[in-house]
Amino acid sequence: MPFKTLPDDKNFTDEVKRAILDELDSFVESYRIQNKITTRWKKPLIGFAGANHPYIRSLKEIISPTHLMPEDVLEGATSVLCFFFPFEEETVRENIKGDTPSPLWATAYPETNTMFVHMANHIKSLIQSWGYRAELPSDIGKISEQQLYSNWSQRHFAYAAGLGTFGVNNMLIGKQGCTGRYFTLVCDLPVIPDEPRQVENCLYKREGKCLACVRRCPVGALSPEGFDREKCFARVKENSKQWGNTICGKCSVGMPCSFKRP
């Protein structure tokens, strides 16, 4: 056991987080070199969502009865470790121009998704080396024309883990903004979970002004009243003819919330 403090102690949770963040630094560095990829990420953010937090327990009601619970992924799960990997600024800035995705943005999507699986398996081994268990959720991206939502919402777990709040652009906005990707790993570490953030990070939701994302969406899928999933999906499907993936991201780039909490 590499920790100085006892499980369930606040210091234990801090030490676990520190150890994971340190491991992520070296993992990402060597992954990039070994796999000769283009995408660059800033330092990741992590948080723990409590498996028994009332918000997590209500996901079947909020989202769908088919949404999975942490224990469906790992029996005896105590928490969901949530990761946010913010993109380097160049990836984001390049996507500001025009109404179709830029090459760096398009590359970042598959490269980040592939990295996530390796990264999470690496952190799973780290957690196992401490004598605990961890498991990756599967089928997280599986959607269909009939069901345009996943049974494993990365962002709802990340919200419960205090990593951000939802903006009018329907993106989860955190300390490092909203331009990046989320992933999760279910585990049985006896950590003290984080709590959802009480203050809105979206300028409009907090102060009633902005709506830059509403003006920017190329297909009018956003409004203060909500997100038109069908319109957005039609657009990203169109983009996938060129790029092979359902991407766009115009509602998140060139925004006050792109890189920080505005």
Residues at the site binding ligand B12, with contacts judged by CB under 6 A: 62-63, 109, 140-141, 143, 148-150, 152-155, 159, 166, 169-172, 178, 181-182, 227, 229, 232-233, 236, 246-249, 251-252
CB 201 → ligand B12: shortest distance, Å? Answer: 11
Q: How far is the CB of 182 from ligand B12 (least distance, A)?
A: 4
Which residues in 125-140 are b (16+ Cβ under 10 Å) and which e?
A: ebbeeeebbbbbbeeb
Listed in order, strand segments (DSSP E) in the chain are: 45-50, 79-86, 134-135, 165-166, 172-173, 180-187, 222-223, 226-227
Candidates 174, 201, 181; CA nearest to 140 is 181
Nearer to ligand B12, 78 or 151 (CB): 151
To the nearest whole angstrom, how small is the minimum distance from the Cβ of residue 160 to ligand B12? 9
Nearer to ligand B12, 126 or 173 (CB): 173
Report in angstroms how near the CB of residue 71 gets to ligand B12 at its nearest.
Answer: 18
Shortest Cβ distance from residue 8 to ligand B12 (Å)? Answer: 27
Residue 41 one-letter amino acid: W
Closer of 63 and 211 to ligand B12 (Cβ): 63
Closer of 18 and 237 to ligand B12 (Cβ): 237
Q: How far is the CB of 166 from ligand B12 (least distance, A)?
A: 3
E strands in 66-147: 79-86, 134-135
Helix (H, G, I), strand (E, B) or coil at 73: helix
* Cβ nearer to ligand B12, comparing 13 with 80: 80
Contact 226, 220 (CB under 8 A): no
Alpha-carbon gap, residue 121 to 110, rounded angstroms: 17
Q: Which residues, 6+ apart, have CB-to-CB distance to 46 below 8 Å?
A: 17, 20, 21, 24, 81, 82, 83, 84, 161
Q: What's the rounded Cα separation, in Å, for the pair 62 and 199?
A: 20
Q: In the bound complex, which residue of the shown chain has the CB atom lying closest to ligand B12? A: 149
Residue with smaller CB distance to ligand B12, 12 or 105: 105
**Separation of alpha carbons 260 and 37, rounded Å:** 25
Looking at beta carbons only, is 107 or 153 nearer to ligand B12?
Answer: 153
User: Minimal distance in Å, beta carbon 9 to ligand B12?
Assistant: 30
